[in-house]
Amino acid sequence: MRRRASIGDVDAVLWIVLGVVLAVAEIFTATLFLLMFAVGAFAAAGAAALGAPVAIQAVVFAAVSALTVVAARPTIRKHRRSATEDGGQPFGVEALEGATALVLERVDTDSGLVKIDGELWTARPYDATQVFVPGQRVQVIQVRGATALVWQDDVSPGALPGSEG
C-alpha cells in the first residue's frame, strides 16, 4: 500500500529544491554568501521532514542562515585578504604585480607578449594610449586573468635612457 505524500513531505522537497538552487547559484557568484542560505534551506527541509509547521520552518531557515553568516563570514573575509594586506609574502598572481617584464612582442590594446620571471604572459598596456616594443622593459601593474597589464618601467636599470641593448 502506498503512503500519500503529506504537507511536510512537500515542504521538505520545496526547501531542498531551494537549497539546491542557491548552491548552484553560488557557483556563479563565488562569494560563498548564497551557500550559507542553502545551508539554512537544507535545515528547514529537515524541520519540514520532522513535521514542523511552515512558520517553524521559516524560523529555522532564518536562524540557521544567520548563524552560518555570523560564524563563517569573518573566516572567509580573513582568507580573502591578499597576502600583502596581511603583511605576508605575496604568492601566485599577486607576486607578479610590481615585477619587471621584458616585451617580446609589441604590446598594444589588441595584443602583446611579455616575459615575467621566465614565463610568457599575454600583455596589454595599463594605459590604452601606450605602446611597447620588443626589448623594452615594463612593469606589471595588475594581472587580470591570464593577461598582465603593464606600464613603462621607469625604475629598472634597463629602462634608463641610453641603457637599452
Choosing from 54, 80, 106, the residue where a domain stops is 80
| Grid cell digits, residue 75 | 573566516
Per-residue pLDDT, 95: 62
Q: Is residue 132 part of a domain?
A: yes
Choosing from 58, 80, 102, the residue where a domain stops is 80
Residues 87-109: pLDDT tens digits? Answer: 555 545 666 788 889 999 999 99
Q: Are residues 120 and 153 in the same domain?
A: yes
Query: How many domains does the chain contain in total?
Result: 2
Per-residue pLDDT, 66: 95
Q: Are residues 48 and 105 in the same domain?
A: no
| Grid cell digits, residue 134 | 620588443
Per-residue pLDDT, 80: 59
Q: Is residue 87 part of a domain?
A: no
Q: Are residues 68 and 109 in the same domain?
A: no
Q: Are residues 63 and 105 in the same domain?
A: no
Name which of 91, 144, 90, 98 is nearest 121 in CA terms. Answer: 144
Residues spanned by the domain of 132: 93-159
Per-residue pLDDT, 24: 93
pTM to 2 decimal places: 0.48
Q: Is residue 2 part of a domain?
A: no
Asked if 143 and 132 count as a contact pair (C-beta separation under 8 A), the reply is no
Q: Give the gyration radius of the chain's Cα atoms.
A: 26
Q: Are residues 59 and 123 in the same domain?
A: no
Helix and strand numbers, DSSP H then E, in the chain: 4, 5
Q: Are residues 146 and 103 in the same domain?
A: yes
Choosing from 52, 80, 108, the residue where a domain stops is 80
Asked if 38 and 22 count as a contact pair (C-beta separation under 8 A), the reply is yes
> Taking the alpha carbons of 76, 82, 83, 85 in that order, is the dihedral positive or negative?
negative
Q: Write the DSSP string, 113-155.
A: EEEETTEEEEEEESSTT--B-TT-EEEEEEEETTEEEEEE-SS
Q: Any idea what the CATH number is for the domain that residue 140 is in?
A: 2.40.50.140
107 φ, ψ to 5°?
-105, 115
- Cα distance between residue 151 and residue 141, in whole Å: 7
Q: Are residues 111 and 54 in the same domain?
A: no
With a cut of 50, which residues of the chain have pLDDT below it? 83-84, 91, 158-165
